[in-house]
């Protein structure tokens, strides 16, 4: 990790344990409208960037789809504000990295979700730059736009930045932006995409050792 002058972090699944909370909010919203889905359908909706349109593809009426999306968003804000938490070791890494070099956050989560995480964990007081899903005008990862924007705001060349994320989308976006990537591979994925990441760490403790070795 030579010549790393700034680090950009992903949020969901990288810094915070959010997947169970998103699932809880969506399931409650669906149950409220008596919508029953099988597991593959639910998984697809959990990764949806346009819940209303994807619900309509499942033959849910527009008015009901709108209601489900609104209720899901309200539940996400309430649940995250009360219960979202750092992944083990993440808070320490973020703070120790910030003490040495500039740090940013690039996430596909909506502004309201980021606000909820801030309400609980104070993330807006930590990161110099935060780019969320509302900031990229529909150009979500793996499009590199969010990372390119973060690099501009951090005033650092992409080649001197590192992006840390937990998914193939993060690795691909970083590569397209000319930024080195570190895959936080906490669940020991065997997917081939981890081979395309510049670095791989199985925990935040391991990532910390990689970063220290680069100094």
Do 153 and 130 belong to one domain? yes
Domain count within the chain = 2
List pLDDT tens digits, range 120-157: 999 999 999 999 999 999 999 999 999 999 999 999 99
- Say if residues 22 and 28 touch (Cβ distance below 8 Å): no
Cα(178)–Cα(82) distance, rounded to whole angstroms?
Answer: 37
List pLDDT tens digits, range 101-118: 999 999 999 999 999 999
Do 59 and 128 belong to one domain? no
Using CA of residue 150, residue 114, residue 70, residue 46, what is the dihedral sign? positive
Q: Give the other-Cβ count within 10 Å of 13's Cβ.
A: 17
The catalytic position among 10, 132, 166, 170 is: 10
Classify residue 16 by burial, with Cβ atoms within 10 Å: 0-12, 13-18, 19+: buried
List pLDDT tens digits, range 116-129: 999 999 999 999 99
Do 12 and 28 belong to one domain? no
Q: DSSP states of 136-165 as a string? A: TTT--TTSTHHHHHHHHHHT--GGGEEEEE
Cα(9)–Cα(153) distance, rounded to whole angstroms?
Answer: 14
Do 89 and 103 belong to one domain? yes
Domain of 118, CATH number, reads 3.40.50.1000
193 band by pLDDT with thresholds 50, 70 and 90: low
In a domain, 28, yes or no: yes
Residue 26 sits in which domain range?
A: 19-83
Residue in the structure block whose two tokens are 């973020």: 94
In a domain, 144, yes or no: yes
Do 93 and 77 belong to one domain? no
- Say if residues 182 and 194 touch (Cβ distance below 8 Å): no
Strand pairing class (199-201; 180-184): parallel
Do 96 and 78 belong to one domain? no
List pLDDT tens digits, range 56-106: 999 999 999 999 999 999 999 999 999 999 999 999 999 999 999 999 999
Do 186 and 120 belong to one domain? yes
155 is catalytic: no
In a domain, 1, yes or no: no
The two three-digit tokens of residue 206, written as one number: 């391991």
Cα(215)–Cα(211) distance, rounded to whole angstroms?
Answer: 7
Q: 3-class SS at 124?
A: helix
What pTM, to 2 d.p., does this model score?
0.93
């Amino acid at each position: 990790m030579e010549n790393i002058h700034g680090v950009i972090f992903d949020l969901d699944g990288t810094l915070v344990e959010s997947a169970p909370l998103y699932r809880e909010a969506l399931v409650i919203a669906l149950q409220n409208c008596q919508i029953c889905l099988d597991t593959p359908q639910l998984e697809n909706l959990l990764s949806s960037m346009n819940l209303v349109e994807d619900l309509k593809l499942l033959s849910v009426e527009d008015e009901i789809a709108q209601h489900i999306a609104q209720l899901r968003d309200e539940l996400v804000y309430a649940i995250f504000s009360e219960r979202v938490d750092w992944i083990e070791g993440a808070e320490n890494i973020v703070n120790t990295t910030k003490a040495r070099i500039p740090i940013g956050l690039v996430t596909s989560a909506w502004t309201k979700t980021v606000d909820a995480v801030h309400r609980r964990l104070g993330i807006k007081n930590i990161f110099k730059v935060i780019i969320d899903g509302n900031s990229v005008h529909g150009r979500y990862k793996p499009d590199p736009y969010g990372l390119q924007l973060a690099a501009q705001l951090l005033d650092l060349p992409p080649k001197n930045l590192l992006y840390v994320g937990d998914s193939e989308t993060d690795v691909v976006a970083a590569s397209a932006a000319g930024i080195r990537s570190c895959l936080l591979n906490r669940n020991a994925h065997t997917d081939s995409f981890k081979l395309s990441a510049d670095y791989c760490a199985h925990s935040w403790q391991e990532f910390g050792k990689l970063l220290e070795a680069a100094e």
